[in-house]
Amino acid sequence: MDAALATKTEEKYVTVAGLRTRYIEQGRGPAVILLHGASLGSAADVFRRNLAPLADFGLRVIAYDQPGFGLSDDPPDWGIGFRTDFILKFMDALGIDQAALVGHSQAGNMAAQLAVSHPDRITKLVVLGTGSLLPPLAESEAAKKSAGPAEGEEGGDKEPTAAEVRELLQKNLYRQNLVTEDEVATRLRLSTGKNHRAFLARNAAGAKNKGKPKDPNKKAMWQRLGEVTQPLLMLYGRDDRGQAGKRAEELKRQQPALDLHILPNCKHLVQWDAEAEFHRLAGPFLRA
């Protein structure tokens, strides 16, 4: 591969577990898989601005539309477990034995679970704004109600309008100038039709699991971070929803050895709001 091809973002398709899967990639070197979150409209495109800067560190950077998102086929199982297992199957389909994972929002928890269960396949882990990997705070009932939607639940029963998509992006971004007409149009296109139907199916599957009694002996993933043996980098926006900044401070207090950064002037889309800081911290970390 020549230098020109190494710096070009390529959009491709591959069949994984019988599902036609869309992905974009750039660069060459150690493999890094970028995993988008589960909110309505999420897809590989949320990392498009990050591919080239990370590839410049000598990395093969790949982002794909998870099953039921973007332009990838719908899965036979709407549970989060299927999408977690799918990560390794995607790697297998591309002939990647080992890779670093970068997980945004809900995908950060998926990546952490995989790092624990398959340490031979996952080399490093970067977590971006994953609220479920933070400890809860003692808070009032009013504060709990104002925390906002859980990971993967951003969206409504009806297909969103362009105005609603713009409002959702504005809530997730500190830098309002990033909410451009092009970004709104892309997000809207990925939030309607089969993608909205998939969103409803995921929420319905999640609702069934919420009704099941919890095992009191089972630890939450944030309590199991000590089981992650790979290098781990965690980045959170100080202004993110659900008091993420305060909860990240609490996690750092409980586990001071964690390489955890709380970024100012940053909300949920860490890789957008803190784009330069993300590249500055994650690039050398992933390449080392």
Contact 64, 23 (CB under 8 A): yes
Report the mean per-residue pLDDT for the chain.
92
- Separation of first and last alpha carbons in the chain: 22
- Quick check: helix, strand or coil at residue 284? helix
Q: d(Cα 64, Cα 83) in Å, to the nearest integer?
A: 12
Residue 217 has what pLDDT?
73
Which value, in Å, is the radius of gyration of the alpha carbons in the chain?
Answer: 18
222-244 pLDDT, tens per residue? Answer: 999 999 999 999 999 999 999 99
Q: Directed axis angle between helix 181-189 and helix 162-172, to 10°?
A: 110
The domains located in the chain, with CATH, are 3-287 (3.40.50.1820)
84-125 pLDDT, tens per residue? Answer: 999 999 999 999 999 999 999 999 999 999 999 999 999 999
- Quick check: helix, strand or coil at residue 274? coil
Nearest by Cα to 171 from 139, 152, 186, 149 = 149
Residue 30 DSSP symbol: S
Contact 207, 80 (CB under 8 A): no
Which amino acid does the sequence have at 180? Answer: T
Q: Is the pLDDT of residue 7 over 90?
A: no
Q: Is the pLDDT of residue 3 over 60?
A: no
pTM of the model: 0.93
What does 145-213 look like in DSSP terms, one character per residue?
Answer: HTT-PPTT--S-SSPPPHHHHHHHHHHH-S-GGG--HHHHHHHHHTTSTHHHHHHHHHHHHHHHHHTSP
Q: d(Cα 88, Cα 79) in Å, to the nearest integer?
A: 16
* Residue 236, φ and ψ in degrees, nearest 5: -130, 145
Residue 153 has what pLDDT?
81
